[in-house]
């Protein structure tokens, strides 16, 4: 969605995903002349240093193993003075209904408590977690 939206604003864009199914959807539903959708691993982005003006990740860094490595790659392929941006749900306060759901589940089931505790223990979802990374 971000790739297509940026393309609609005139940017040349590349969407990267490890899932061919997601890429197939993007290619058929989000096709733009100045947008491409490529199979790839964000731990090892196949572009040279400073190849992009901006690199954006949405709803991914909190579920990718070794997110710090991905953030390093995002910085590497972004030109000096460019923009590196990410977005994940704020599980600690900005997404209160979801946190309440997890809290209720954790009282009722120890497995739900383990999931909630794992999510909340990840520094990425702490206040300023993404900025600090």
**Domain 2-89, second-level architecture:** 3-Layer(aba) Sandwich (3.40)
- What tokens appear for 52 in the block? 């992009």
**Residue 76 pLDDT:** 98
Instruction: Let me know: does 125 contact 89? Beta carbons within 8 Å.
Output: yes
Q: Judging by beta carbons within 10 Å of its beta carbon (0-12, 13-18, 19+), is residue 78 exposed, middle or buried? A: buried
**Residue 90 pLDDT:** 66
- Mean pLDDT, residues 54-62: 92
Prediction pTM value? 0.78
User: Is residue 95 pLDDT above 80, yes or no?
Assistant: no
Query: How far is CA 51 from its chain centroid?
Result: 19
Would you list the domain boundaries of the chain?
2-89, 90-133
């Amino acid at each position: 969605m971000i790739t297509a939206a940026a393309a609609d604003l005139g940017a040349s864009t590349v969407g990267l995903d490890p899932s061919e199914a997601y890429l197939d959807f993007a290619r058929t539903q989000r096709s733009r002349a100045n947008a491409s959708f490529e199979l790839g691993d964000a731990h090892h982005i196949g572009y040279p240093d400073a190849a992009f003006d901006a690199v954006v990740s949405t709803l991914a860094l909190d579920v990718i193993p070794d997110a710090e490595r991905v953030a390093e790659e995002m910085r590497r392929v972004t030109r000096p003075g460019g923009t590196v941006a990410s977005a994940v749900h704020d599980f600690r306060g900005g997404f209160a209904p979801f946190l309440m759901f997890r809290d209720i589940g954790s009282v009722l089931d120890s497995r739900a408590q383990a999931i909630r505790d794992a999510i909340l223990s990840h520094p990425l979802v702490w206040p300023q977690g993404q900025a600090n990374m």
